[in-house]
Chain A
Amino acid sequence: MSDHILPKRTYYTIYAILLLCTYLTWQVAFFDLGALNTVAALAIAVFKAAIVVLFFMHVKYSTRLTWIVVVGSVFWLGILLALTFNDYLTRGWRTYG
């Protein structure tokens, strides 16, 4: 948490970028890019979330502890997803013979 007071212009700029990304994600969905559709959708979503976290939630101007907490939570969700999919993606592999 910081006492850094951002100029209103920063908030409006971030808002505009968020709207642009929403439009982009909506448009991209209408093209068949195969597997890349999901990648693109997630990449845009992650970018939008990141700028909300950094600017609207002031993490860019906050302490290192705050940053560690944010990154840590995402990393932990990553553990849940990664080790769960470690099972699902390998279920079809042959074990022997």
Chain B
Amino acid sequence: MASSLLLPPRHYLNDGYGIKSWLLTRDHKRIALLYLAAVTFFFFVGGAMAVVIRLELATPVGDLVSDETYNKLFTMHGVMMVFFFLIPAIPSVLGNFLVPIMIGAKDLAFPKLNLASWYIYIVGGLFTLYALVTGGVDTGWTFYTPFSTVSSTTNVIPTALGIFITGFSSILTGLNFIVTIHRMRAPGMTWFRMPLFLWSTYATSLINVLGTPVIAITVLLVAAERVFHFGFFDPKVGGDPVLFQHLFWFYSHPAVYIMVLPAMGVISELVAAFCRKQVYGYSFVAFASIAIAVLGFLVWGHHMFVAGESVYAAMVFSILSFLVAVPSAVKVFNWTATMYKGAISWQTPMLYAIGFIGLFTIGGLTGLFLAAIGVDVHVTDTYFIVAHFHYIMVGGTIMGYLGGLHYWWPKISGRLYNEWLAKIAAAIIFVGFNLTFFPQFIVGYLGMPRRYHAYPPEFQLLNVLSSAGASILGVGYLIPMVYLMWSLRYGRVAGSNPFGASGLEWTTTSPPPTENFSEIPTVTEDAYTYPVRVEGHVA
């Protein structure tokens, strides 16, 4: 790579200075960076909760915090991580930045709405932080009734309202993406020439639009019930607590696909770029994204096998849960097939990609164990479940997020990060992650329940391993913060296509101009067409 590259004179980062030019921007790229700052903040809040939890669990006795405090810790950890990090991170950071560029447009369909989405997210986040600092919530992020509506004496209402408000951010972002993808594709950009990241983003946006309103009304009802004592979910008045769970999980199960689908989209991009190949079975991967979004709405009852739903309903949900694994598996097979006989280069984004493929596979397979009612009855509410979803959320989504952040960092910032430090951080994260969560499969299978801060002493060794892993993982997450920030000022200039990848985003400058392209491109090729011509030589 030539070191005589220069940053373009005019780009979106120097197009206007001052706080107003950022807080009142309509540029989707700047809004993406506003989200980046915000989600990183909430990630560290949620992470801090996790640190205390793992410290407590290093010993079998509940000696670090009281049981009430422990309840508040895992609740806030869940709320922060799920609603304020995992759900928005990839769509609002990478999606906002890339969707218009990948599609060949100047901006999203509704730029002002995009900015409003960020503000709504911040207001929702502040509400929830307020609930945290004024005493916390102890219901679990799942808010099960009637505890949340009747008995809990903690800040349920501000938390519920914070989530309600933040939901609108998801809805409006999803709406924006759907309209953009339908109506603003560049000439020649047919649906089947779109990069797979856009298919995943589209599928995610469908879930956002269809599912989030139901959690919105559900948390509203919880808040209302606390205030007015309606009794919808209170058995003393004739209500059904399980009805709350139906409404809650109708959204919250598809929500896990909101969290993982964008990461899968990133992986498709990374695998194609670092294997220099068209993704194997492109249309199967595209359709699999839609299938995951649709089927994901049909399985929510698998969270309620022991809650009191009828056995017959449980069986229906069980069969459907087995079915939803199929399109995910199709994707894993296709990524692997793409790697076969590809010209693989093991740069940092690719390390995160294979980390994702392996860890998501483990998480997904354990999901199949849980879809079987007979197994679930024994391991539900144990650490087996905790391990299962952390393999997908952390081993999957966060790896996808970091992989995407590294891959597109040169495009976003115009700079290259230190590749060796990045590789070391990726390795530390991988080791730390597995040390943290693999022991949890075992200790959960052996019977350790979740959401308890004390446990039988025979489980201590596995818990200590897990806590040790967590400290390694924490260090691993801090390292990219350092070298990415450092690269902004001192990193080598990247040039428009440092990885020699295929895709419209790599045809414009790094960083891109505010209007993305000097002139709107006309697309004549499929996505992932290699070889790619890069600044005078073929890559």
Contact present between A and B (CB < 8 A): yes
Contact residues of A with B, CB < 8 Å? Answer: 65, 73, 76, 79-80, 83-84, 86-88, 90-91, 93, 95
Cα distance A90–B313 in the bound complex, in angstroms: 7
Q: Mark B229-254, 1 if CB is under 8 A from A, else 0.
A: 00000000000001100100010000
| Pairs A–B under 8 Å by Cβ, sample size 25 | A65-B182, A76-B210, A79-B297, A79-B298, A80-B214, A80-B250, A83-B298, A83-B300, A83-B313, A83-B316, A83-B317, A84-B243, A84-B246, A86-B313, A86-B316, A87-B310, A87-B313, A88-B310, A90-B310, A90-B311, A91-B309, A91-B310, A93-B310, A93-B311, A93-B312
Which residues in B have their C-beta under 8 angstroms from that of A87? Answer: 242, 246, 301, 309-310, 313
Q: Mark B279-299, 1 if CB is under 8 A from A, else 0.
A: 000000000000000000110
Which residues in A have their C-beta under 8 angstroms from that of B214? Answer: 80
CB distance from B222 to the nearest CB of A (A): 17
Cα distance A73–B242 in the bound complex, in angstroms: 24
Which residues in B have their C-beta under 8 angstroms from that of A86? Answer: 312-313, 316
Which residues in B have their C-beta under 8 angstroms from that of A95? Answer: 311
Which residues in B have their C-beta under 8 angstroms from that of A73? Answer: 210
Which residues in B have their C-beta under 8 angstroms from that of A76? Answer: 210, 297
Chain B interface: which size bin? 10 to 19
Cα distance A63–B75 in the bound complex, in angstroms: 46
**A87, closest chain B residue (CB):** B313
Which residues in A have their C-beta under 8 angstroms from that of B242? Answer: 87
For window 310-333 of B, CB contacts with A under 8 Å fall at 310-313, 316-317
Which residues in B have their C-beta under 8 angstroms from that of A79? Answer: 297-298
Cα distance A95–B316 in the bound complex, in angstroms: 14
CB distance from A65 to the nearest CB of B (A): 7
Given contacts A73-B210, A87-B242, A87-B309, 13 further A-B contacts (CB under 8 A): A76-B210, A76-B297, A79-B297, A83-B301, A83-B313, A84-B250, A86-B313, A86-B316, A90-B311, A90-B312, A90-B313, A91-B309, A91-B310
Interface SS majority for chain A = helix
Cα distance A21–B300 in the bound complex, in angstroms: 38
Cα distance A95–B310 in the bound complex, in angstroms: 9
Cα distance A76–B182 in the bound complex, in angstroms: 20
Contact residues of B with A, CB < 8 Å? Answer: 182, 210, 214, 242-243, 246, 250, 297-298, 300-301, 309-313, 316-317
Interface SS majority for chain B = helix
Cα distance A93–B298 in the bound complex, in angstroms: 22
**B317, closest chain A residue (CB):** A83
Cα distance A83–B254 in the bound complex, in angstroms: 14
CB distance from A70 to the nearest CB of B (A): 13
Cα distance A38–B332 in the bound complex, in angstroms: 48
Which residues in A have their C-beta under 8 angstroms from that of B182? Answer: 65
Cα distance A84–B310 in the bound complex, in angstroms: 11
**B209, closest chain A residue (CB):** A73
CB distance from A8 to the nearest CB of B (A): 31
Which residues in A have their C-beta under 8 angstroms from that of B317? Answer: 83
Cα distance A95–B309 in the bound complex, in angstroms: 12
Which residues in B have their C-beta under 8 angstroms from that of A90? Answer: 310-313
CB distance from B273 to the nearest CB of A (A): 32
**A79, closest chain B residue (CB):** B297
Nearest first, the 3 A-B pairs at minimum CB distance are: A87-B313, A90-B312, A90-B310
CB distance from A93 to the nearest CB of B (A): 6
CB distance from B245 to the nearest CB of A (A): 10
Cα distance A66–B13 in the bound complex, in angstroms: 38
Cα distance A76–B246 in the bound complex, in angstroms: 15
Cα distance A20–B515 in the bound complex, in angstroms: 54
Cα distance A80–B301 in the bound complex, in angstroms: 11
CB distance from A87 to the nearest CB of B (A): 4
CB distance from A59 to the nearest CB of B (A): 17
CB distance from B409 to the nearest CB of A (A): 36
Cα distance A27–B447 in the bound complex, in angstroms: 61
**B309, closest chain A residue (CB):** A87
CB distance from B425 to the nearest CB of A (A): 41
Cα distance A93–B312 in the bound complex, in angstroms: 8
CB distance from B293 to the nearest CB of A (A): 11
**A86, closest chain B residue (CB):** B313
CB distance from B323 to the nearest CB of A (A): 14
**B210, closest chain A residue (CB):** A76
CB distance from B515 to the nearest CB of A (A): 27
Cα distance A91–B164 in the bound complex, in angstroms: 31
